[in-house]
Amino acid sequence: MTPAFVYSALPMRVRFGAGSLAGLPDEVAGLGLSRVLVLCSPEQQATGQLVADALGSRAAGVLPGARMHVPIETAQAARDSARRLGADGCVAVGGGSAVGLGKAVALTHGLPVIAVPTTYAGSEMTPIWGLTEGGVKRTGRDPRVLPVSVLYDPALTVSLPPGLSATSGINAIAHAVEGLYAPDASPIISLMAEEGVRALAAALPAVVADGTDLDARGDAQYGAWLCGAVLGATTMSLHHKLCHALGGALDLPHAQTHTVVLPHALAYNAPAAPRAVAALARALGGAGDPAHALWALAGRLGAPRSLRELGMPEAAVGRIVDLAIGSPYANPRPVTRDGVTALLRAAWAGEPPAAG
């Protein structure tokens, strides 16, 4: 039986394919924009400049100021630059940090954002913004920050190092996992989630083996697109809550933290989410427990599998548990102190996830 559901489509245009960056000037012109500010992180300044050069006179400038979790100071600097340069839109080139900076400008200035993603984080497909002030990250949903147009060019991802390719890809898979058991899941989103996990799990070993393999890069980015769309359409649960707490309280790296926690969070929720488990088992090759399959995938990719190796002190487990159980949120299985403590201890030590 198909359960009742509500599905809202998000208005957005996607251009996909190797070489599609060449279509960016048309994309900008088609939106009626004539002075866009290019945003990127300092490490990707050369890519940002490449994009600005391709845009010619339609580029108002390049601001290489994006930082993880969008510190308020960087948001303010980007807003000031946009105003000073008379920008009528932003092109955010990079990972979730660059896209997040574009969203911060859109939030206050209402400028349209065109996203050119170079990681698999998925922010480009969501109306979710984040801003960090005084060490505290606030997030919210606002239709104004949803990029109007997204250009996926796998050629821009070949420089993503193997380690970050693996963890960023598993970060994307995490969106699909939680979308499959979300309170606002819907049949079309579940199809996208299953296909996104299948595409990424199949592509990531090839991407890590040879980062210049454009076919594998394209398959991984296709999966990341689908998983990002799932993130944009559904409400996340325990896994994302835990990663948010670990990132915010301990400054652990984003994609790596997702990679370590995901098998454990899925194992915790699996008994209460049989449809999600069946979809993930299909996506991951049909056999066995999907939580264990994801843990094994991380191992095969050489990705971290313990919070200890990410620098988390064991003594911090209690604090993270407090944060994760502090306020109520939707989760398929009741979130208990004992349950989350056991989950985090296993993730900290790098043990395999609990058997389902």
Could you list the residues that contact ligand NAD (CB under 6 A)?
Answer: 41, 43-44, 68-69, 94-98, 100, 118-119, 121-123, 126, 128, 130, 156-157, 159-160, 164, 168, 231, 254-255
Question: Biggest alpha carbon distance in the chain?
Answer: 59
Q: Nearer Cβ to ligand NAD, position 166 or 255?
A: 255
Point out the residue whose Cβ comes nearest to ligand NAD: 96
The minimum distance between CB 300 and ligand NAD, in angstroms, equals: 21
Pick 44 or 234: Cβ nearer ligand NAD? 44
Least separation in angstroms between CB 344 and ligand NAD: 20
Nearer to ligand NAD among residue 23 and residue 162 (C-beta): 162
Cα separation, 336 vs 238, in Å, equals: 11
Q: How far is the CB of 99 from ligand NAD (least distance, A)?
A: 7
Q: How far is the CB of 353 from ligand NAD (least distance, A)?
A: 23
Residue closer to ligand NAD, measured from CB, 165 or 346: 165
Taking alpha carbons only, the member of 38, 9, 61, 33 closest to residue 116 is 38
35 burial via Cβ count (<10 Å: 0-12, 13-18, 19+): middle
Nearer to ligand NAD, 255 or 270 (CB): 255
Which residue in 137, 127, 123, 349 sits closest to 246, CA to CA?
137
Q: How far is the CB of 342 from ligand NAD (least distance, A)?
A: 26
Shortest CA distance to 165 belongs to which of 208, 108, 133, 112?
208
The strand pair at 59-63 and 89-94 is best described as unpaired
Q: What burial letters (b/e) apply to 104-117, b meaning 16+ CB within 10 Å?
A: bbbbebebbbbbbb
158's CB contacts (< 8 A; 6+ apart) are 211, 212, 214, 217
